[in-house]
């Protein structure tokens, strides 16, 4: 009955969902393309017994990269299917894997769409990244006997409270999950509190610690610094949301009064906002350059990064990274990307998406937290005026990354057990039936 009521609600909200898809399409044209996939309608790729990995957007795709590579090696020649929700996630999959994996959008959680989707990809194993819980999809996986694992699983206290009104429905959905490989003991505890069966919840660590550095990232960063001026102070406001760009620009204006050659790199989280950020920077009087127009020069005061998939070279090129989504209640973004490159990190007060990682970096001396937008400028100035301190922070941040690696190996061990149990049940089923 719970899932029936949920399904009715999803069907009733479908016109709103479609309108939202159209509205986003006016801002970001890729939303108009392949929209039929969101209802499970796409040509049958002729797959069977594939490994299916779902990663909602760019961050999850990047985190899943080493796991997908390990799954492809372990289970070759089985095909691999990767689904995303956003066009930026889709573009990242295409850039990382090309035609080596089959990519399609995950359908909306409508029974008919989910049925068509599963009928076409026919997975032998379903792997869902982080915190995606879809009652109809999970139910169909359980009904079909598809082993379903939620890996790199995280659940904040805020999300746990948010699920409270529908906890019975979520508990029902989690009953179809074979494995929850949690990032931390705190995440595991919250999943159990949400209703996951205790024996199915294991702690494997955070896959983001195992993310490989893009080839040549450090070299590209060094080349950029040579072009800009090696001694000038450079800081990066990365993955900003509306409301955070102004804080970064104000901080940079104050910084320029003390350090006239300082350079701000800024990258909006969503591509549809690239132009708005560039226009805002120009309207404030900065000497602006963009990545797409050929990058900065020694006179540039603000460089707008207006392309996806190039963040790591700019992390490598900066002295200090402010990881955004943390001055507004978004929950923060991945602080490990700059940390892996030995770059000190600054975050705001809202880091609940990466709370344990952020706290670990702060405790180790690799990151600083500001309580508000007003504190951003003074803290950035303080840190940039202490080059030796920046080096120490960068070393501490990198040490955390090195110490915590190994989640891919642990996750693969757990997934191997899931696959082995499924294979045993499949092979044993005819014998049991005959005996009965």
User: What pLDDT, on a 0 to 100 scale, did the predictor assign at position 123?
Assistant: 97
Residue 433 above 60 pLDDT? Answer: no
In-domain check, residue 67: yes
User: What pLDDT, on a 0 to 100 scale, did the predictor assign at position 110?
Assistant: 94
CA 309 to mean position of chain CA atoms: 13
How far is Cα 217 from Cα 212, in angstroms, rounded to an integer? 11
Average pLDDT value for residue range 67-91: 94
In-domain check, residue 330: yes
Last residue of a domain, one of 154, 178, 204: 204
Beta pairing class for 148-153 and 123-129 = parallel
Residues 235 and 148 in one domain: no
Residue 436 above 90 pLDDT? Answer: no
User: What pLDDT, on a 0 to 100 scale, did the predictor assign at position 423?
Assistant: 84
Residues 278 and 395 in one domain: yes
Average pLDDT value for residue range 31-47: 87
Residues 200 and 221 in one domain: no
Take residue 247 and report the two structure tokens written for it: 């804080």
DSSP 347: E
Active site residues: 60
The C-alpha angle with vertex 206 and arms to 396 and 50, in degrees rounded to 5, equals: 145
pLDDT band at 435 (very low <50, low <70, confident <90, very high): very low
Residues 379 and 274 in one domain: yes
Supply the Cα-derived Rg of the chain in whole angstroms: 23
Q: Are 354 and 59 in contact (CB under 8 A)?
A: no
Structural domain for 237, as ranges: 217-404
- At 20, give phi and psi (nearest 5°): -65, -40
Which residues, listed in sequence order, are joined to residue 345 by a DSSP beta bridge? 321, 367
- Starting at the earlier edge strand, list the strands of the sheet with 50-54: 102-105, 80-84, 50-54, 123-129, 148-153, 179-182, 201-203
Beta pairing class for 320-323 and 102-105 = unpaired
Residues 298 and 337 in one domain: yes
DSSP 431: H
pTM score: 0.84
In-domain check, residue 367: yes
How far is Cα 50 from Cα 28, in angstroms, rounded to an integer? 31
Write the CB contacts of 135 (distance below 8 Å, at least 6 apart in sequence).
Answer: 3, 6, 109, 169, 170, 172, 173
In-domain check, residue 10: no
How far is Cα 322 from Cα 76, in angstroms, rounded to an integer? 40
Residues 274 and 359 in one domain: yes
CA 215 to mean position of chain CA atoms: 20
How far is Cα 20 from Cα 34, in angstroms, rounded to an integer? 15
pLDDT band at 283 (very low <50, low <70, confident <90, very high): very high
User: What pLDDT, on a 0 to 100 scale, did the predictor assign at position 434?
Assistant: 39
Complete DSSP assignment for 236-272? EEEEE-TTHHHHHHHHHHHHHHH-TT-EEEEEESSGG
In-domain check, residue 416: no
* Domain harbouring 185, CATH code: 3.40.50.11720
Residues 255 and 132 in one domain: no
In-domain check, residue 357: yes
In-domain check, residue 432: no
pLDDT tens string 93-136: 999 999 999 999 999 999 999 999 999 999 999 999 998 899 99
In-domain check, residue 168: yes
pLDDT tens string 340-356: 999 999 999 999 888 88
- Starting at the earlier edge strand, list the strands of the sheet with 234-240: 288-290, 302-304, 263-268, 234-240, 320-323, 345-347, 367-369
- At 81, give phi and psi (nearest 5°): -110, 135
* Domains: count for the chain: 2
User: What pLDDT, on a 0 to 100 scale, did the predictor assign at position 297?
Assistant: 85
User: What pLDDT, on a 0 to 100 scale, did the predictor assign at position 21?
Assistant: 76
Residue 143 CB neighbours (<10 A): 10
Overall residue count recorded for the chain in this entry = 436
Last residue of a domain, one of 176, 204, 232: 204
pLDDT band at 22 (very low <50, low <70, confident <90, very high): confident
Take residue 362 and report the two structure tokens written for it: 């702060």
How far is Cα 436 from Cα 429, in angstroms, rounded to an integer? 11
- At 147, give phi and psi (nearest 5°): -60, 130
Last residue of a domain, one of 183, 204, 225: 204
Tell which residue, 35, 16, 36, 15, has the closest CA to residue 25: 35
Dihedral sign computed on CA atoms, order 146, 108, 152, 308: positive
User: What pLDDT, on a 0 to 100 scale, did the predictor assign at position 406?
Assistant: 96
């Amino acid at each position: 009955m719970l899932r029936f009521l949920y399904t009715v609600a999803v069907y009733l909200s479908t016109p709103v969902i479609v309108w939202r898809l159209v509205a986003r399409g006016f801002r970001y044209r890729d939303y108009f393309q392949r929209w039929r996939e969101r209802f499970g309608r796409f040509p049958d790729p002729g797959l069977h017994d594939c490994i299916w990995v779902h990663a909602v957007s760019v961050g999850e795709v990047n985190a899943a990269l080493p796991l997908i590579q390990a799954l492809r090696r372990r289970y070759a020649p089985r095909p691999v299917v990767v689904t995303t929700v956003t066009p930026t996630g889709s573009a990242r999959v295409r850039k990382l894997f090309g035609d080596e994996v089959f990519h399609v959008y995950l359908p909306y959680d409508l029974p008919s769409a989910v049925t068509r989707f599963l009928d076409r990809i026919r997975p032998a194993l379903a792997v869902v990244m982080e915190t995606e819980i879809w009652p109809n999809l999970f139910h169909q996986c359980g009904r079909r006997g598809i082993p379903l694992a939620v890996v790199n699983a995280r659940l904040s206290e805020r999300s746990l409270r948010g699920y409270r009104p529908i906890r019975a429905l979520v508990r029902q959905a989690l009953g179809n999950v074979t494995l929850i490989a949690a990032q931390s003991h705190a995440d595991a505890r919250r999943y159990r509190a949400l209703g996951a069966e205790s024996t199915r919840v294991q702690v494997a660590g955070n896959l983001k610690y195992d993310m490989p550095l893009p080839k040549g990232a450090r070299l590209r960063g060094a080349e950029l610094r040579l072009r800009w001026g090696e001694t000038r102070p450079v800081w990066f406001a990365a993955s900003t949301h509306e409301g955070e760009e102004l804080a970064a620009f104000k901080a940079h204006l104050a910084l320029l009064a003390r350090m006239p050659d300082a350079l701000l790199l800024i990258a909006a989280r969503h591509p549809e906002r690239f132009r708005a950020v560039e226009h805002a920077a120009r309207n404030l009087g900065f000497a602006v350059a963009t990545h797409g127009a050929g990058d900065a020069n020694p006179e540039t005061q603000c460089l707008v990064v207006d392309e996806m998939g190039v963040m790591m070279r700019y992390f490598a090129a900066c002295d200090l990274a402010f990881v955004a989504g943390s001055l507004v209640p978004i929950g923060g973004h991945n602080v490990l990307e700059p940390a892996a490159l030995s770059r000190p990190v600054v975050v705001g007060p809202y880091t609940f998406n990466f709370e344990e990682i952020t706290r670990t970096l702060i405790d180790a001396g690799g990151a600083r937290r500001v309580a508000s937008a007003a504190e951003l400028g003074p803290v950035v100035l303080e840190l940039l005026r202490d080059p030796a301190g920046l080096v120490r922070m960068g070393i501490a941040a990198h040490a955390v990354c090195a110490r915590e690696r190994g989640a891919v190996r642990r996750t693969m061990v757990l997934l191997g057990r899931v696959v082995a149990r499924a294979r045993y049940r499949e092979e044993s089923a005819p014998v049991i039936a005959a005996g009965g």
